[in-house]
Amino acid sequence: MGPWRISHPAWGRYTRVGAVRHVRRAGAAALAGPRSRGESLYPAGTLRIHELTTEERAIYQTLKPECMPQHVAIIMDGNGRWAGHRSLKRFLGHQQGAKSVQLVTETASRIGLPWLTLYAFSLENNLRRPRAEVNFLMRLLKSYLEGNVQRMMDNNVRIRYIGRTHELPSEVQDKMNWAADMTARNTGTTLTLALNYGARSELVDAFRALAAEMKRKHLNPEHLTEEDVHRHLYTAHMPDPDLLIRTSGEMRISNYLLWQIAYAEIYVTERLWPDFRGIHLLEAIANFQRRERRFGGLSDSVGITDEEAEHAKIAVS
């Protein structure tokens, strides 16, 4: 059995301790601020800039290597509307969306993006979509994995999953396990597909596991920390997203990574997911780099900090 085999709804917590420690160190480094000018966050050996298109390279050359995101999460939205605008069946929109997944993943791997997490299939989709559409999406997932594992190998991409994947059809789980095992030794971009995923259900699963641990170890609830919750999330093995992208122009989070995106920058594009390409990922990263991440602190543009504020009187109207 491979190290990332699906065996539990929160299978992300079954991760090497060393990997978790590495992720926590990476997160601490990100909070410390950007690196010195020109120092890339990504190892030079992982970059394949020469494989970008001319248009992609033009945008990439404007980016600051020291300010690249470690983790980009995407809400892939608009497959149905893309098909509807063309008077096509919805399933054709999903098929085109699957092509976008691979194209965007390959661009991510070329620029050395360590983590890319895609919202592929929500719990709500599973419960509320017509069964025929859900069944098609399951077949499409199997087909995508069968047809793209070799391309993942060629691009040094490793695939993983988060969500209540144990509830998916067994033949789909088998194909997911196969793809994860085939790519497990790859060291480039980690592509994580959120499947049968909902952030609220993730928190419920985490709290259940945490409660069981507390009972087993006789822990005092007063001593619980955010780190304790983090350890039981599906995403315990990865850093929190720096950038959240949503396609189709919708201004909502859709129950996606609610805990993890606490300090993420959010980028919304009107472009529908089937039309989204690597160049649009680079445009989103360029927009991300024009922002100032404060993590609850003060911006340099908010004025002079008044050291006497502690002793100032409060004016009452």
The residues annotated with a catalytic role in the active site are 77, 125
Q: Are 228 and 207 in contact (CB under 8 A)?
A: no
Written as one letter, the residue type at 22 is H
Contact residues for 47 (Cβ-Cβ < 8 A; gap 6+): 40, 110, 111, 112
Count the Cβ atoms, other than its own, within 10 Å of residue 90.
17
Query: In a 10 Å sphere around its CB, with 0-12 CB exposed, 13-18 middle and 19+ buried, how is residue 231 labelled?
Result: middle
* Pairing, β 71-75 against β 115-122: parallel
The answer to whether 145 and 101 have CB atoms below 8 angstroms apart is: no
